[in-house]
Every structure is written in structure tokens, then in C-alpha cells.
Amino acid sequence: MTEPRDPRRRVPRPAGRGRAGSRGGSAGRGGQAGRRGALHRPAAKRTTPKPAVPGPSAARSSTAPKQSAKQAARPVRPRSGPALLRLGSPRPRLRLVSLGLTVVMLVFVVRLFQVQAVDAGAFAAKANVNRYVPVKLAAERGAITDRDGVNLATTVDAYDITADPSLLAPDKSKIDDAPQRAAALLAPILHQDKAALAKKLARPKARYVLLARQQTPQVWKKIKALRRTLDARAAADRKHGPNVLVGIFADKHSKRVYPNKDLASGVLGFVNRAGKGGGGLEALLDKRLAGKDGKLVYAQSGGRRVPTADAQEHPAVPGSDVELTLDRDIQWAAQRAITKQVAKSGADRGYVVVQDTRTGEILALANAPGFDPNEVAKADPAALGNAALSDAFEPGSTSKLMSMAAVLEEGAATPATRVTVPNRLHRGDRLFADDIDHPTWYLTLNGVLAKSSNIGTILATGQLGRTQREANQVLYSYLRKFGIGRPTGLSFPGETPGILAKPQDWNTSQQYTIPFGQGLSLNAVQAASVYSTIANGGERIAPTLVRGTTGPDGRYVPAPKPAKNRVVSEKTARELATMLESVVDDEEGTGAKAKIPGYRVGGKTGTSNRVDPRTGRYHGYTASFAGFAPADKPRITVYCAVQNPTRGSYFGGQVCGPIYQQVMAFALKTLQVPPTGAQPPRLPVTFKPGQ
């Protein structure tokens, strides 16, 4: 076998052949032929020449080194044949490629180590941000019920009907009038104008429009049923064309509903579009009613949830249900009565308060005009509050009960004490009069209250101290005990504590007007609480609106017990109750229209000058009536006030007496309060001088 040849080694030309080629023509031709042959042979297939056979030419070849040395000294003559191709060694290239691959792999390893070890947490968090989607789980808002569990405010499912107008474009729907057809189908369901709907739908570049907000589930069911019908018709017969309701959708959410519309709206308030309480108890008890929203975190891909991936869910905690002290039926009766009277009298507004005298619970709190919390956007902004708590007004003669309580409790007089009442009384820089001109009246203290004499009240309260200053201080202390000039305890949004200046700040006029209800201000609930205090034996119980709450766990928690304070003795309270009966039952009294057959009724009329809240000046009147029944065993207090009656009478007995009678009679029957059957004692109203 021949030994492999290094391709880089140059093969020497045989010495004999070279010499022969230079000498002889035949040899030269042979050499040329050899060179021509060499042009057609690949260099890679050249083999190692066999060693020369020893012969005569060997002697000649011995002289070759000498000749080669001589030839090396001579310049090399360029060859006439083509240059030979020399192949390099592959090892350097292999080393270079290996080095490059090693560097690349090293970069990948370093990056992989960084991603999976060093910054693994950071990259995982970034990936989760895009992969995992958090979704808020809205908590169901608690219901508000009356004392019998009847819903006054509750939460139901609702749907916003939306559309993708681009799907109704002619190039997609293949119908030129697709928006008009869809509008014609939706208009009767949504109770909207067909042209207005068509205008919203005829926007081919829009992807979202709101057609109707907060629709009932029944409305959405009708739309889905109609859409299925159109799909079936289109599948059965192509002549009908594609379904034009294909671009109609619905967004589901919760909706606050008030089943009784405007009933007790001033108490309940409303919920705004953000789902937060915007007024009334909805605002006051918002945290309790709202509950706590939950959270769902799930994996998504391409905008869709990955069902096999992990998900974390924190369930929402529903809000608590709130039970009020209101009685829905009594609230309805009170609201109906005051609404009719305000309209009949052409008044600005009016309110009725019904209170349980034994517990302080408010059974009705009616305002007129009211509003429908289901349609807050359409309501008069002035009617959105609760005027029975936010209006501060001068009570007038209904306030005389507090003056009489102070006189009796301090022992300055008795119901039978005689009071001579002139037609005019000069005090300070003013001349005081009663509501009508009259000759000198000879009244008992009971008669002063029954005939609602301003002059008689001034004379009676003047006996509370040795000086007018002392009398003012004593009267002020009783007014404060009755709750005037301080919050009711309801903490209701917008509630006014009323206005009662300190006695040292009373001017000359106020010293004599405050005893008969001018120069101080209160709200309707405060006025009702005064009469409930007397009905409850002289002990004031703070008014309440909430009976208790039922939490998400179903456990009922009663409301804290209201605060109590003794204002007058039971003896004084009984005497005052009897005196109030004279106002209604006696022919000399001003409250005859408040009589209720079969029941003993005690009450007091009130007519006061009214301060116009817009101008701050006196303009018009406030007509009012307050009382309780049965007078000998009180159970219910009713207070009514009408602001600025402009048609008919403006006296409290004429305007509010009938309202008191209607509401009180209804409440007694509703609560099944039996008549006592006893006859009222008739205290003297007048006396004859000299006897």
C-alpha cells in the first residue's frame, strides 16, 4: 500500500524526465503530452510515483543535486502551465466555530440563570400582571324594610341595553336599512322613540352605544326571544335576510329599587350611579348596607378565561339588611294626607311625624312634595332632602306646651290659676296682642292654653322668676331639656338642631316672644318629641328610626336603646295632658277639627309668622297641630306643619287639624289601640271676676 500524501506537499518532477524534456524533441513532446494530460487530471487524484528502478540512469541521477543547486542559484522561470490549488487545514476553522458556539451557549446559560434563579420572582410577577386578570365581585346591597319586614328598598338584577353599530353597517349586515329595522323592533320594547334609536344605531364606525339604562330582566328576555325568532326565520328562508339584532347586547349589573316609589323617600334617600348612598338613610348607613366587595383573579389568554388554570376567589360579603321603625301603612296614610293638604292650600311644603310615645320610635315621617328615588334625575332638587328634619322654623303656639310645663313644674301656677288677659300688653318696646282682637278675657291657665293666648302665656311665664332675667333663665333650661337647640339623636344627613339663643343674648322682644313660640326655631321631629315627652309621663326618649340590622350571617342585632331624660314629673305631665284635651274637646278650644269619635284626644294648634329662607324676612305663615291619643293612656303622637299656605285659611286648627285627625285615626286602627271609654275631665277655661 502507498502512504497517504499530504495535499500541501509539492510533488517534485522526476529528474530524468525533466532533463530529457530539455534535450530531446521526443522527450519534450512526451513532456508536453504529460503536461497536457495533467490539465485533465484532478490534483486530488494524483498518486505518489513509484520509485525509480536502478539502472543506467541512476548514475546520471547522482549528479542531480549538483545541478539542482545550480538551478537554485538561477532565477526561477515561471511555468507555462496552470497554478496548483492548495487546501488549508480545517482545524483553525473548527476551533473558531466551536469557540463561537461556546460563547453563544454561555450567553444562553447566563440569561437562563438570571431568569430562573436571580430574577425569577420579578419575571413571574410581570407575567402574572398580563396573564392574571382581577375582577371585582360586587357585594349585594342590603335591603331596607319597615318594622314588619316589608321591603322599602331592595336590590335586583338590571341590564344596560347596548349595541355595536358597526355590525349593522351595510357592508356587514348586507342590509341597507339595518339600523332602521333594528330600531323599529326595539322601540316598543324599550319604550323609546324609533327615530332616536335609529340615529344611535346608524353610526357604522362606532363599536359601542348605550340604548337604555337599567332595564328589567323581562326586557332583556324579550329582546333575546325576538333575536332567536329572527335567527330561526333567517335560517329557514334567506329572503328574510340576516338578523338585524345581531349587534344588540346587554351589560348586567345590580339596580336599587324602591317598590313603593315615593313612599318614605325623604327617609330612605337614594343611591347614585356609583352605587353609593346619595341621601337619607342610604347615605347615613351606606357602609352597613354596602357590604364588602369580593375579588376574583383568574388566568386569561386572548381575552378569555383559561378554565384549567388556577383562580383565586375572595367572595363578596353582602350588606346588612336594615329594619326601620316605620310602619308602611301609617307612612302611606300620613304621606297621602299631607300631599293633598299642601296642594289644596297652595303651600310650599308640609310634613307629618308619627311617633310611638312609649318607645320614641318614629312610625311615619312624611314630606310633601316628595320624589321617586327610582327616578332621581327627574326629581326637583329642592325635594331631595328630608324637610321634616332639615327645615328650621318658628313653631308658634305649639311651643306653649313647654312654657306651661315650666310654669306647672316650678309651681308658679296651676291649671286653675286665674289669668286676666287684656286686648293689648305693653312689654319693653313692643305692644303684644293675640291673634284676634277681644275684650279682656278672664281665663284660667287651662283657658290660656285652650284659647292659645299669647298675652296670657307672657303673663304666666313672667312668674318663673323674681325678675324677667331669672324667668328667662328658667324657661331656657326647660327648652333645652325638651331637646330644643340640640340634635335629635338621629344623626340624619342635613338635620338642623334648630336655633335657641342663650338667655343673656335674648333681646327685649325675644324675652316675650319665645314663651309663645316666636324667636326660636326647631324641626318637625323636635316638635313631635316635645308632645311625646308629655305623653310618656314627662320622660323624653330620643327619637329613633332604626330598630335593628340583620347581618350576612342571618343574625339580628337590635339597635342600641335610645337615651332618656326626665323633663317634668308625672304629675305635671298628667295635668298638661288634661289641659291639652280642653284645646280639642272644649267649645272654647282651637282644635275642634282634631276630634276622633270614641277616643280622648289632646293637642295644640299653632300659627306662626314664617321666615322666608330665601330672603331671611318674615313672609307668610306656618300652620301646625300637635297632639297625642288616647289622652288618658297615650300611645301615639302626631305632628303636622304646613309652610306658607296661600289658599284658604292659614290657621293651624283649620289647615293641620284635619290632617291630624285623619292620620291619628288611621294609626290607632292600624295598631289596634282600643278606646279607653272614660270621659275626659273638663277643666274650667274661664272664670267670672269677683267670684
Query: Three-state SS across 127-187?
Result: HHHHHEEEEEECCCCCCEECCCCCEEEEEEEEEEEEECHHHHCHHHHCCCCHHHHHHHHHH
Q: Which three cell numbers stand for residue 581?
A: 284635651
Element (H, E) at 266: helix 265-268
Measured between alpha carbons, how far is 676 from 158 in angstroms, rounded to an integer?
51
Rounded to 5°, the CA angle 151-153-155 comes to 105
Instruction: Identify the residue whose cell numbers are 334648630.
Output: 498
Please state the separation of Cα 324 from the chain's center in Å. Answer: 20
What is the C-alpha to C-alpha distance for residues 466 and 277, in angstroms, rounded to an integer?
53
DSSP string, 379-435: S-GGGSS-HHHH--B--GGGGHHHHHHHHHHTTS--TT-EEEE-SEEEETTEEEE-S
| Cβ atoms of residues 423 and 591 within 8 Å | no
Annotation says 399 is catalytic: no
Instruction: Tell me the C-alpha distance between 138 and 215, whole Å.
Output: 19
How far apart are the C-alpha atoms of 5 and 379, rounded to whole Å? 109
Residue 515 has what DSSP assignment? G
Tell me which residue has cell 267649645: 587
- Answer whether 244's CB lies under 8 Å from 163's CB: no
Beta-carbon count within 10 A of 243 CB: 22
Q: Quote the CA–CA distance of 612 and 348 in Å, as a whole number.
A: 11
Q: How many other CB atoms are there within 10 angstroms of residue 568's CB atom?
A: 24
Contact 670, 605 (CB under 8 A): no
Mapping DSSP to helix (H, G, I), strand (E, B) and coil, where does residue 75 land? coil
State the Cα torsion 37-40-44-47 to the nearest 10°: -20
Q: Which amino acid is at 614?
A: R
Cell matching residue 316: 363578596
User: Is beta strand 539-541 parallel, antiparallel or unpaired with respect to 294-301?
Assistant: unpaired
Residue with cell 363599536: 207
Residues whose CB falls within 8 Å of the CB of residue 412, separated by 6 or more in sequence, listed in order: 406, 460, 463, 464
Query: How does DSSP assign 204-217, residue by residue?
Result: TT-S-EEEEEEE-H
> Which strand (E) or helix (H) includes residue 580?
helix 570-585
The residue annotated as part of the active site, out of 397, 452, 453, 521, is 397
The catalytic residues are: 397
